[in-house]
Structure 1
């Protein structure tokens, strides 16, 4: 187990390094000058040069990357061009809100996905299976931002049951675990959970249906094992693959919520990234992308380290 853990940790280092390179280069490939939005229209050449030097944009690209990476390793992601505030504090505040939303969506999507997948797998090729599969395909196919808008129209505008935007009363961005704040998270969490729920449902359904058709299930029945005992064996065989899919979807929940957070004005990393893109705020854009990408990398690392606990074959291999 120790050798497996060290091997997985060793794989993370080059992946994380590659993530930093891609995050740095992607924002430089985009057209336009990031300083145009904050410089006066009548800025002189000297003022432009001073601004370029202040943000380090006057140096060659490789030098900019080395300086940026060195600062990032110490937790210094620079200052926002638009607001002048430290990028690290802006991103960390938004990350907390995104984690809250991702956890809420996970608590909805993953258990329902596993439940629906087992139901469809056990009743494979029946009306129940077709109904569950139709729901899963619909959840994966519908654009989640469109679904969010529909839910707002129904439950906020028409019925007036739930608030439509923000993370708390009065546009508050500070989260508290109370009933009033929970009302604000219901719509974005449900919207964000639909795609992972559909993917997990289809994965579990395929795994369970395949397992139930294998010979060892017939052998278990021949030994006189009951349904609960057979289900235990099915769960043990389904868990490793399901865990991998859940890890990937958790990364999606952390990094793929930009449209959902924009629709619901949720003050997370997706909303922050959207603002940074429109404002061409290069340091904020780089810092946000880097943090989200590293979250995805380390979420998958945790899943990789957890898999040997449920599948000893990985540890032996």
Structure 2
């Protein structure tokens, strides 16, 4: 098991290097120049040259990449081009806000998805199966941003049940601040709920049809021990998908955080794109991609611990 984990960790390192190269390259290929946005049209060439030197844009791209990679390895992403504040400070705050939404959305999305998938498989072909399958299909099919807009219209504009934007002031009581999280969490949990529910249903139905399930029942095992074996065999692919979905949630949905004006990593990424704030843009994408790779690494290790066949 230790050898398998070390091997997966060694494979993650070149993946992260490749991600850093792609992030750096794509950001610089995109049209626009952050210096042109900061400097007034009447700025002298000398002032523009000094600004480029200050942010390191005067060096060749390959030198910029290695300098940026070396600083990023120790958590130093420089200053924002837009407001000259440390990028890391902005990123830590934004990631903390996104993690709050991601954890709640993952908890409810995965929980409801597993329950709906198991119930659909248990009542296969009957009306509960059709109802729960319709719910999970709707969760996968409905666009995130459309659901967000509809929820804002229903719960904030028409009925004034919940706040539509922001995350509340720090001085507010905890239960009042939770109200700001309800709409974005409900919106974000729909896709994980639908994806996990459909996979659980398909995997459980596939396992139930296998011979070993009938053999366990023939040996006299009751429903719960048999169900435990079914869940154990269905768990590895479900865990892999949960890791991917949590990575998407942690990455933050740009559209959802923009609709609800939630100050998370998705909203920060959106602002960085429009401002052409290259240091913030590079740091945000790299950190989110790193989380995604590490989550996949953790899922692979957990899968191998549950199913020893994966280690081979």
Q: CA deviation at 1:177?
A: 8.1
Q: Per-residue displacement from partner, 1:235-277 (whole Å, max 9, x unpaired)?
A: 1111111100100001110114111111111111000001001
Aligned to 2:296, the other structure's residue is in SS state helix
- 2: CA distance between counterparts of 1:138 and 1:36? 45
Using the size of structure 2 for normalisation, the TM-score is 0.97
Q: How does 1:237-252 map to 2 (within 5 A)?
A: 237-252=233-248
Q: Per-residue displacement from partner, 1:124-165 (whole Å, max 9, x unpaired)?
A: 233222222221111111111110111111111122111111
Using the size of structure 1 for normalisation, the TM-score is 0.95
**Does 2:222 align with 1:205?**
no
1:181 maps to 177
2:42 maps to 42
Structure 2 residues not aligned, in runs of 5+? none
2:257 maps to 261
- 1: CA distance between counterparts of 2:39 and 2:73? 29
Q: Per-residue displacement from partner, 1:55-82 (whole Å, max 9, x unpaired)?
A: 1111111011011111111211011011
- 1: CA distance between counterparts of 2:214 and 2:152? 49
CA contact (8 A) 2:113 2:197 kept: yes
Aligned to 2:284, the other structure's residue is in SS state helix
Alignment length, in residue pairs?
312
**Does 2:26 align with 1:26?**
yes
CA contact (8 A) 2:110 2:192 kept: yes
- 2: CA distance between counterparts of 1:283 and 1:308? 38
Instruction: From 299, 303, 307, give the equivalent of 1:307.
Output: 303
- 1: CA distance between counterparts of 2:263 and 2:257? 7
1:158 maps to 158
1:225 maps to 221
1:168 maps to 168
- 2: CA distance between counterparts of 1:100 and 1:131? 31
1:3 maps to 3
CA contact (8 A) 2:98 2:252 kept: no
Structure 1 residues not aligned, in runs of 5+? none
1:141 maps to 141
1:54 maps to 54
